[in-house]
Structure 1
C-alpha cells in the first residue's frame, strides 16, 4: 500500500490531485492531527467519491480521534499509526529528496555540485543504503569540494528500513464512543487590545451630543402681565393719488386689472312638446233656489274643468251659457237645460286620454253638472331638453366668483409691497351674456363674463405710523404703545371717484405700558429658576403676574442659557 504524506495546509483539491497522479490502487494518506481535510465532513466525502471514481482503495492514518471518527462516517478506514497497516515508510525517502531539492542554493552561488548519472532503485520491501560517487576535486577548490561532497552525500543517502510485515488492524473504539465534534476550525488565542481611538471618539461624540442637547433642546415660554392704560380713538385718513398729501392723508397709487372668461352651460330644463288630449262634455243646469226658480249658468272660454276620477284639468274651448230650469205646463215636471262643449287638456301627454267621467267646473252653481259620454284622445308625450334660467344663473355666478378672485390676485401682484382694502375694489362689468335664450331647445349654451376692477393701494407701514401717532398723544417718556392686533382688521373704505381717492376709517386701540425690550428682558432671565424669573420681572418691569413654562418638562428647572431660546408673551391689563 503506497503511503502519501500530507502537510497540515494541504487542501482537499491538492490531495485529490496526488491520489490521481499515482498509479497505485492502494493508498494510505498519512495526515497530521491538524490537517485541513478534517475541517469539514464534505472534504472526506469528496475524497471518498474521487477514490471510488478512480477505483482506488484508500485509508487514512492519523492520530486525530476526530479525524478518525469523520473518516469512519464516510466509509474510509482509519488507523492511528502506519505500522497498523503493515507498510514501510518508503515515501519518507521521497519527501527527503524533495526537501533537499527545495533547499538548493539560488543561481549565482559559486559551488560545484555533483549530479549522479545513476538512479537509486527503490524496493517496496527492503531499501539498501547506497553511497553516491564523489565529484572529482580541483586543487584550487579543495575546501569547497569537501563541503560539496558532504552535501551531496547527505542528499543521496537513502536510509534503509527493515521490512515490515502486514499486521492485523488493531481494535479501535467505536465511533459512537468518540468525543463529539464541537466545530470546524481551530481556535487561536488572541491578545486583547483596548481600542483607545474608538473609545476616545465615542466619548467625544457623546460630549458633543450632550452640548448640542444642552444648547438647542431647552426652551422657556414666559407669560407676564404688565399694568397698562388702554387707549382708543377713531382714525380717518384719505388715500390720495394726486394732489398735496396732508397730515391726515396717505399717498396712494391706482391699480387696475381686467379679466374675461367663458364657460359652457349644460342645459337641464325639460319641456313637453307633445299634443294635448281633446274631448267634449255635456253641462246640465239643475240649479234651483229655495222657491224652485232656476238661473242661467254662463262659462267663459278656458274655464277649468277637473276630472273627478284622475284630477286631470282641462279647459273649455269656447264660452257657453246653459239656460235655467223650466217646468212642463201639463204636469209641472222640471225641464233642465244642457249644452255640449269641447274641452282641451292643459298639458300634452297620454295621461290625459281619459275614459268617460264626470267633471267639476270652476265657478259653477250648485246643481250644475258636467259629464263626458266618450273617451278623450289625442294626448301624446314628447319631452325635450331646454335651457332654464337656473342653468344660466348658476354658471354666471361661478364665472363671476372665479373672475373676481383672479382679478384680486393680479391686483395684489401689481401692488407689490403695498396693500389695499378688498371692499374698496371697484368692479365694472363689461360683458355678461349667454348665446341662447331661456326655453330654447338645446343641450348646451355658452356664457361670457368680462369685468374690469380698480383700486387705490397704499403703504401699510405709513398707515400704522399715522395710527400710532393718533394714539400716542398722551404717552410718557418711559412708556410705549402696544397696538391691538385687531386694529387693522375692520377698516371701512369709501371711494371718491371725483377726487380719485379713498377714505379709510378705523377704530384704533392699544395699551400704554412701561417700555418693554424683549431681548434685554430675555437676557436678564437666562439660566434662572422660575422664582428668580418672576422676581426679576416684578422688580424691574412691574409685572403683576408671571407664568413660566420650561420645556421639556424633565429638563433642569432653569431657563435656557441663551436668550434666543426664551419667548416672552406680554399681557396687558
Structure 2
C-alpha cells in the first residue's frame, strides 16, 4: 500500500520534498487540495517527479482539478480521483536516471527496435541520440502505437511555438497517441489538441463588447442646473388645529393637534409690611358744658369727643344738665349745665396724652362742649402685621414666577416630542393658593404657596406647512407651482383659542414666489442622450426657463448619458 500525505494549499515544493524524504514507503500518494500552488506549476511537478526518482519513490497524486490532472499525466505521474483508489494501488518502482538526461533511449532486444523519445517538458531542443547498447527497459506497446524499423526514429515533440515554462494557461488535453510521419520519413507520435482556441477568442470579443456597452451606459454622468423665472405671490388662509383629530385633513383645512400640560407647585417666604401700635391708650375725665338751652341732654356710651384731631370715646353713658337763664345787667344769659364723662383714646400712643383743651362732642350743638384736664397713660409700641396687601402682593409675585417656569417647561416638553406651539397660545389654571399667616396676624414674615397648571395645543409644524402648501397650491393655476418653500415663506398666528383648547384657529400667511411647473423627469427626457449644445437649445424657447447650465463627465464625451439615473437635475430661481 502507498503512504497517503495530505498537503495544504500553501505548501511549497521544498516542504513537499522534505516530506518525501521523511517517508519510509516506496509509494507515496500526495492529496492536493484545490488552489494549491504546487498543482498549478508545471515546473513544480517536474521537480517533484525528478526528486521522487532520485529518492527511489513512486509518487502519485490524488487530485480532482482537471488542469492538474492533465499536467501530471503529461509528465507520467499517476493520478487518482479518490484517496481510496490510491490506498489500494500497488506502487511500481521505475529505474532512476541522471537528472540531466534529456533523452530516453529505449530498445527492444527481442525485435531489434530502437526508440529515440524526446522529453517534451525539458524546454530544450530535440537531440539525436546515437545507437547504444540496449537498455533493459520495457516499452508499452499501447503508447508506441506501431512497430517501426531500427533505422526509423520515433520522436515525440510539442511544436515549435509551445512554451513549456510554468504557465496558468490550460494545458492541452492529450488523447490517444497517433502516428505522424516526420520530415525524416519516420513516425512521430504526438497528442492531438482536444479543444480549439476559437471559442475563447469569441468569448473575449463578446466580453469586450459588453464591457464597452456597460461603460457607455454607466460611466458618463451629467448635472443640469435650471434657473426658473418667478413672480411674487401672497396668500392668506385660515387653518384649524383640532385636539381630537387623528390625522390632518386638507379638504377641511384641519391639522391634528395634541394637548400638552405641565403642573407645578412653588413656595416662597415674604416679609410682613403692615404695622400696628399695641401701646397703652390715654385716659382721663372731661367736663361737658350745656350753654345751649335749659334742657338736659343724654349721650350714649361710645360717644366720640375730638380735640386737635385726636378722638376719644366715652366709657359710659353720660348726662349734661340743663342751662339756667339769668338776668345780668339787664341781659339774659344762660348758666351752663354740667356733666362729667370718663374717656379713653381711640388709638394707643403717647400722642394722645393731651393737655387741657376743648372737645367737640359728636352729635351735639356747638354750644355743648367738653373741657378736660390733662389726659395721660398713652404709650407707643409698634409691631409688624401681615396685611391684606401683603397677601395679595405675594400671590401675584408667585403666580408670575410660576407661570414663567411652567411655560418654559411646557415648551421643552412640546419640542422634545417633535411638536410646535404658538407663542401666546398657553392657558393657565391656578390650582391652589395658601399662606402660613392670615391677614392681621402679628408676624415679621410669612410663607406663600401656589400650585398652577398650564396647557397648550401642540401640532407638527411640518404637517401644518404641508396642509397649508397643498391648500394654497390647489388655488393656483394648473400650470403654476409654489417655490422656495423655506420657513420664512410661511408664517402663522393664533386667531382664536377655546378655553379647553379643543380647537385653535390660525391665520396662515404665505409670502413667497411662484413659477411655471417643471419636473426633473421633464428636464431629463429633453436632454438625455444628446450633445450639450442641443440640450441647451432645447430650452431656448421655454418661457419658464431663464438659464440652464450643463456639465458632463468625462468631459471629452461632450454628450449626456442615455440613462435617466445618471443625470442629476437641480433647480434655482430668479429673485
TM (norm. structure 2) is 0.44
Indicate the structure with greater strand content: 2
Indicate the structure with greater helix content: 1
TM (norm. structure 1) is 0.44
